[in-house]
């Protein structure tokens, strides 16, 4: 090749190289503004952390109690129950936890007289219904089926109560304004009601109800009755101070063999002597088995003095005992109060279990009055064992307390 030709080729090559470098420069600068070059993922184990680099939040140590449940922990002691509104047991997000933890349930409202008495049918059916009130209990069907499938026994609450019992039930024409019926007629209505409820439950759900609250909250000293009976009650007003004797007599008459009959009340520690006085003739007649202590508490209540000692007095007097409506309120959810509440639950379950083992309390169930805080009648006091978050139950420190978790202190402050 001639020298000129070689020089020309070399020049052309240099020129081509410069053009392509310029083009590449221009391209890079415009791209870098739009899409930043991705940082390549570091795959090499170059970042093995030294001890000081360990993340600040350590993985929590698994709590062995998370593999256990309330009914398992107390399997040798007593049943653990829960009060539930109608729809809760059929909620698939809750059912498994309920069934795992509880082996007794109480309907929160659905088996109270105002839910069972059928006013329209009572009115329409007169005069036949005059002493035979009409009832309907079909609404509990779904929950009763699920309870049975899951081995959850039912404590029936409550046949007679001064509240949640419509005033029309006590009148001649089953209207709220009607004249009150006589004592005799009301006793017939009472017997018919108790008979129908018990027969319905046994026919449709044989063996599922293991105890009845026959009467709720009939004693309230200070209203003028010499024995401390609650006077402001239509049962007291229309039938008289002995209405409980009849209620238990009828209940015994129609209750299936082996089903326990309870009197249930709040603040029992304040009225032990009145309760025992009023119930004595019923006990003597063999018509009552137990006393239900509601136990709507706060962290200021004394488990030792108010719960345990009271239950021991009832046992010594010849009654079975149940804690039927336990909840323990706190003023706010400060860390300190959350811990005090957990302690109170732990102490209560511990002392009752120990007294049962020692034979000083004859108890066969502790029922928590509700499942999670937001659904409690005392929601503003956060009194229960669970929260409900993100569609599921979350255990509180109170649950761990009730489970006898050693990280919860077992002392009463």
Do 209 and 200 contact (CB within 8 A), yes or no? no
Provide the 8-state DSSP code for 48.
P
From residue 42, alpha-carbon distances to 38, 39, 49, 53 in Å are 12, 9, 14, 17
69: Cβ contacts below 8 Å, ≥ 6 apart: 100, 101
Q: Which of 263, 266, 386, 400 binds ligand GLA (CB under 6 A)?
A: 266
Return the number of the residue (262 or 345) whose C-beta is nearest ligand GLA.
262
Return the number of the residue (265 or 339) whose C-beta is nearest ligand GLA.
265
> How many residues are there in the chain?
413
Q: Site residues for ligand GLA, window 367-386 (CB under 6 A)?
A: 377
Q: Site residues for ligand GLA, window 138-197 (CB under 6 A)?
A: 157
Q: Which of 217, 249, 339, 381 is catalytic?
A: 217
Q: Site residues for ligand GLA, window 15-44 (CB under 6 A)?
A: none
Do 218 and 244 contact (CB within 8 A), yes or no? yes
Return the number of the residue (115 or 185) whose C-beta is nearest ligand GLA.
115
* Least distance between ligand GLA and beta carbon 197 (Å): 16
Quick check: 294 binds ligand GLA (CB under 6 A)? yes
Residues in the interface with ligand GLA (CB under 6 A) total 6
Do 370 and 83 contact (CB within 8 A), yes or no? yes
Q: Is 217 tagged catalytic?
A: yes
The H or E element that residue 158 is part of is strand 153-161
Residues 323-342, mask of contacts with ligand GLA (x by CB under 6 A) = --x-----------------
- What's the burial of 208, exposed, middle or buried (CB within 10 Å: 0-12/13-18/19+)? middle
* Least distance between ligand GLA and beta carbon 155 (Å): 11
* Least distance between ligand GLA and beta carbon 400 (Å): 25
From residue 151, alpha-carbon distances to 45, 94, 97, 140 in Å are 53, 16, 13, 16
* Least distance between ligand GLA and beta carbon 294 (Å): 5
Q: How many angstroms separate the CA atoms of 294 and 216, rounded?
A: 10
Quick check: 216 binds ligand GLA (CB under 6 A)? yes
Quick check: 69 binds ligand GLA (CB under 6 A)? no
Return the number of the residue (69 or 367) whose C-beta is nearest ligand GLA.
367
Return the number of the residue (216 or 310) whose C-beta is nearest ligand GLA.
216
Return the number of the residue (200 or 377) whose C-beta is nearest ligand GLA.
377
Among residues 371, 364, 88, the alpha carbon closest in space to that of 210 is found at 364
Among residues 227, 221, 220, the alpha carbon closest in space to that of 241 is found at 227
Return the number of the residue (112 or 396) whose C-beta is nearest ligand GLA.
112
Q: Is 325 tagged catalytic?
A: yes
Provide the 8-state DSSP code for 59.
P
Q: How many CB atoms lie within 10 A of CB 96?
A: 12
* Least distance between ligand GLA and beta carbon 51 (Å): 54
* Least distance between ligand GLA and beta carbon 292 (Å): 9
Residue nearest to ligand GLA (CB): 377
Among residues 367, 365, 384, the alpha carbon closest in space to that of 375 is found at 384
Provide the 8-state DSSP code for 308.
I
| Residues of the shown chain interacting with ligand GLA in the complex, contacts defined by CB under 6 A | 157, 216, 266, 294, 325, 377
Which amino acids are annotated catalytic? 217, 325
């Amino acid at each position: 090749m001639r020298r000129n030709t070689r020089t020309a080729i070399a020049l052309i090559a240099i020129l081509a190289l410069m053009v392509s470098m310029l083009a590449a420069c221009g391209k890079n600068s415009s791209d870098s503004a739009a899409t930043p070059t991705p940082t390549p993922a570091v795959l090499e184990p170059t970042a093995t952390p030294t001890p000081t680099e360990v993340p600040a939040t350590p993985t929590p140590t698994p709590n062995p109690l998370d593999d256990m449940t309330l009914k398992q922990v107390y399997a040798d002691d007593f049943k653990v129950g829960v009060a539930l509104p109608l729809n809760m047991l059929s909620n698939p997000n809750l059912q498994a936890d309920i069934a795992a933890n509880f082996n007794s349930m109480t309907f929160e409202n659905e088996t109270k007289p105002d839910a069972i008495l059928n006013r329209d049918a009572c009115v329409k059916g007169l005069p036949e219904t005059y002493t035979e009130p009409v009832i309907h209990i079909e609404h509990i069907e779904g929950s009763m089926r699920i309870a049975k499938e899951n081995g959850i026994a039912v404590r029936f609450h409550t046949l007679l109560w001064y509240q949640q019992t419509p005033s029309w039930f006590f009148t001649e024409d089953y209207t709220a304004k009607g004249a009150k019926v006589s004592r005799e007629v009301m006793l017939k209505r009472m017997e018919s009601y108790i008979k129908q409820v018990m027969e319905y439950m046994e026919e449709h759900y044989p063996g599922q109800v293991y105890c009845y609250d026959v009467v709720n909250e009939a004693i309230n000293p200070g209203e003028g009755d010499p024995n401390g009976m609650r006077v402001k009650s239509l049962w007291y007003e229309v039938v008289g101070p002995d209405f409980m004797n009849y209620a238990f007599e009828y209940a015994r008459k129609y209750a299936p063999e082996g089903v326990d009959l309870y009197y249930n009340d709040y603040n029992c520690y304040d009225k032990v002597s009145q309760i025992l006085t009023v119930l004595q003739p019923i006990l003597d007649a063999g018509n009552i088995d137990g006393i239900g202590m509601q136990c709507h508490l706060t962290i200021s209540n004394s488990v030792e003095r108010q719960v345990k000692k009271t239950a021991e007095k009832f046992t010594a007097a010849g009654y079975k005992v149940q804690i039927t409506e336990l909840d323990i309120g706190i003023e706010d959810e400060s860390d300190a109060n959350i811990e005090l509440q957990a302690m109170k639950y732990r102490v209560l379950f511990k002392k009752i279990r120990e007294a049962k083992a020692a034979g000083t309390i004859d108890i066969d169930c502790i029922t928590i009055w509700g499942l999670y805080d937001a659904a409690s009648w005392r929601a503003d006091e956060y009194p229960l064992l669970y929260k409900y978050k993100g569609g599921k139950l979350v255990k509180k420190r109170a649950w761990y307390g009730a489970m006898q978790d050693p990280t919860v202190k077992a002392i009463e402050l």
